[in-house]
Amino acid sequence: MKTYTYTEKKDTRSGFGAGLAELGRTNPNVVALCADLIGSLKMNEFIKENPERFFQVGIAEANMMGIAAGLTIGGKIPFTGTFANFSTGRVYDQIRQSIAYSGKNVKICASHAGLTLGEDGATHQILEDIGMMKMLPGMTVINPCDFNQTKAATIAIAEYEGPVYLRFGRPSVPIFTPADQKFEIGKAIKFTEGTDVTIVATGHLVWEALEASKVLHEAGISAEVINIHTIKPLDDAAILESVAKTGCVVSAEEHNILGGLGESVARLLATNSPAPQEFVGTNDTFGESGTPAQLMDKYGLSSTAIVEKVKKVIERK
Amino acid sequence: MPNIKHLEDICTQVRRDILRQVHKVNSGHPGGSLGCTEFFVALYNEIMDRKDAFEMDGIGEDLFFLSNGHISPVFYSVLARAGYFPVEELNTFRLIDSRLQGHPTTHEGLPGVRIASGSLGQGMSVAIGAAQAKKLNNDDKIVYTLHGDGELQEGQNWEAIMYASAKKVDNLISTVDLNGQQIDGATDDVLPMGSIKAKFEAFGWTVLEIEEGNNLEAVLEGMAKAKAETGKGKPVCVLLKTIMGNGVDFMMHTHAWHGKAPNDEQLEIGLAQNPETLGDY
């Protein structure tokens, strides 16, 4: 079995910051906006190098989304930066009308997504954002898994014409994808080959899925771990091909199981080739204060939780 | 000098277009549309510096954003009469498979529309973005917007108003249609807003008033003054006092025709008060 290790941990938001800085040097049309969270979004380097292409909007996210939509008229490629909560729920109608329905080329970049925001608690820990964004017609939804993938995704979405929701997080997590791996929107990445179960994972849960696959291997269970970095459009073919082989699937995400990646996978399977599925995610609940590790454990988002769901889904085959 | 007679003929025809659009589908918003007819006709035929080929890249010409999208009948009529799309297409207003949706949208590719609007309070933010893009592009043209007065109750406007002056977006002219009416009645009854002029001034804008917003010459003069105020470090606000339903006597001075279409008989009365000038579609 192919195993993954890491030598360094970094936050995915720094991957966004690094990607944005590189775009600042390579693409003169890229502009950035922030609603008073420059440091949290790691936008300092871009701003230092391109002060004329940065717009500090203040604590006014609705206005920021509208300005971003307007900046596209005249050829700019705006990247908005704030927490995931304030990038989605707070401004849903602005995104819906001025960006998605209007077909504007805005990149909504959302940090501190999910429980791993930690101690700030449920007011800031959005677990519904993937659902809200994937329901918008024409919106691309991306949740990369580590520093390198987030950096690559940030660079890739500038080349894509259309609205994108890019979701990343605050905690330091292992870097386990290659720094030179090109990011292809909508193209799943198979991390391990397996025959007994397919684990489709997104964001921070990809590393947990890989950890789970090691434990499962020792227990004689062969797991195929697929990284779904793009939740919409979903890589239907990759999932169907894998599940055709393994006969069951576990979805894993740092998000409510209502409306997340798992539901997209369930719809895909139900309409093509139904197979038993188990869901790793939060279950219709708000989060709370705590360390990221404590929260991932308490809300069933750890590798241990994935192992349990795998055993359960295999029994249902 | 603008040919006032010609512009007045366009206004009369636009009022007919408005009435006929909403009558045909028995839906739409005639009141605010009629009240803003002179403003739209002045803007698109005299004030704005527009490219002749109707390109939609937004570069090198003045731009307009309608924030209170429900007055789409006047917007569509003026765009069609200016040449953005065939006037016959006004026949498709609010019909299935039409580019002329109930509220304006870019989604169906209708030339002249640069943003979807209808959910209120979003247009000024978009216009600010477009104005700032112009500055980045060294494009010295101007961005215009129109807002309802009731629409100013939406909080996003005040985020945008604060931002525009803080960032010296001085290539922006935002006009507020002060007709004093909204769906549930007079703005002063629904939610009194006090002095809108004082509010914009307190937020750092240059404010001009057009007392007779349905007098074409007054609108032309007022908008020319507004244009002269751009480029001076402040965004410019025009308070345009209009009469809702203007030009159709039974629709005037009331909110009753905000979102209601005339019946056959009412249409005939309204059309008789606005005889055909440029030719009906």
Using the Cβ of B41 and the Cβ atoms of chain A, whether some distance falls under 8 Å is answered with no
A61: annotated active-site residue:
yes
Residue A301 has pLDDT above 80, yes or no: yes
* Average pLDDT of the residues in B153-163: 98
pLDDT at B1 > cutoff 80: no
Q: What percent of chain B has pLDDT over 70?
A: 100
| Contact between chains at A66 and B126 (C-beta distance less than 8 A) | yes
A79-95 pLDDT tens trace: 999 999 999 999 999 99
Answer for the pair A118, A295: CB distance below 8 angstroms, yes or no.
yes
pLDDT at A46: 98
Rg of the Cα trace of chain A?
A: 19
B136/A58 CB distance under 8 A: no
How much is the average pLDDT of A237-246?
Answer: 98
- In which residue are the tokens 């960032």 written? B167
d(Cα A310, Cα A290) in Å, to the nearest integer? 27
The answer to whether the Cβ–Cβ distance between B125 and A72 falls below 8 Å is: no
Residues of chain A in contact with residue B69, where contact means CB-CB under 8 angstroms, are none
pLDDT at B129 over 80: yes
Nearest-by-Cβ selection for A60 from B58, B59, B159 = B159
| Average pLDDT of the residues of chain B | 97
Question: Is B139 in the A-facing interface, judged by CB distances under 8 Å?
Answer: yes
In chain A, the domains with their CATH numbers are 10-174 (3.40.50.970), 189-315 (3.40.50.920)
Share of chain A above pLDDT 70, in %: 100
Number of Cβ pairs closer than 8 Å across A and B? 117
ipTM for the whole predicted complex goes beyond 0.90: yes
Per-residue pLDDT of B134-144, as tens digits, reads 999 999 999 99
> What is the C-alpha to C-alpha distance for residues A6 and A122, in angstroms, rounded to an integer?
30
CA distance A94 to chain B (A): 7
What strands lie across the sheet with A277-282, from one edge to the other? A189-190, A223-227, A197-201, A249-256, A277-282
Mean pLDDT (whole number) for B206-219: 98
CB contact under 8 A, B119 and A93: yes
Across residues B233-247, what is the average pLDDT?
A: 98
Q: Which of B117, B129, B160 sits opposite A68 (nearest CB)?
A: B129
Per residue in A179-215, pLDDT (tens digit) is 999 999 999 999 999 999 999 999 999 999 999 999 9
Across the range A239-245, mean pLDDT stands at 98
| Residue A45, pLDDT score | 98
Q: What are the structural domains of chain B?
A: 4-272 (3.40.50.970)
A114 pLDDT exceeds 90? yes
A20-65 pLDDT, tens digit each: 999 999 999 999 999 999 999 999 999 999 999 999 999 999 999 9
Across the interface, whether the CB atoms of A62 and B156 are under 8 A apart is answered yes
Our CA-based measurement puts residue B277 at a distance from the nearest CA of chain A, in whole angstroms, of 35
Query: Pick from A70, A94, A96: which is nearest to B128 by CB?
Result: A70
For B172-193, write each residue's pLDDT tens digit: 999 999 999 999 999 999 999 9
Chain A contact present for B117, CB below 8 A:
yes
pLDDT for res A80: 98
CA of A56 to nearest chain B CA: how many angstroms apart? 9
In sequence order, the 6+-apart residues with CB closer than 8 A to the CB of A70 are: B65, B115, B125, B126, B127, B128, B129, B130, B131, B132, B133
Q: Does B124 touch chain A (CB under 8 A)?
A: yes
| Torsion sign over Cα A188, A192, A196, A197 | negative
pLDDT band at A299 (very low <50, low <70, confident <90, very high): very high
Q: By percentage, how much of chain A surpasses pLDDT 90?
A: 98
Selected catalytic residue, list A61, A128, A224, A253: A61
Which among A62, A71, A94 has the least Cβ separation from residue B133?
Answer: A71
Contacts of B60 in chain A (CB under 8 A): none
Q: What is the structure's pLDDT at A1? A: 80
DSSP-derived secondary structure letter, B82: H
Is residue B235 predicted with pLDDT exceeding 80? yes
Cβ separation A74–B167 shorter than 8 A: no
- B111 part of contact set with chain A, CB < 8 Å: no
Instruction: Choose the closest CB to B130 out of A53, A60, A74.
Output: A74
Phi, psi of A230 (to 5 degrees): -110, 110
Chain A partners of B59 at a C-beta cutoff of 8 Å?
74-75
A100 vs chain B: nearest CA distance in angstroms? 9
**Residue A258 clears pLDDT 80, i.e. is over it:** yes
Report chain A's mean pLDDT, rounded to a whole number.
Answer: 98
Interface check B126 vs A, CB under 8 A? yes
According to the model, what pLDDT value does residue A124 have? Answer: 97
CB contact under 8 A, A66 and B136: no
Find out whether the peptide bond into A28 is cis, omega within 30 degrees of 0.
no
Q: CA quadruple A42, A45, A46, A51: dihedral positive or negative?
A: positive
Structure token digits, residue A20:
């944005």
The predicted model gives B82-105 an average pLDDT of 98
What pLDDT, in 10s, does the model give residues A61-70? 999 999 999 9
pLDDT of residue A155: 98
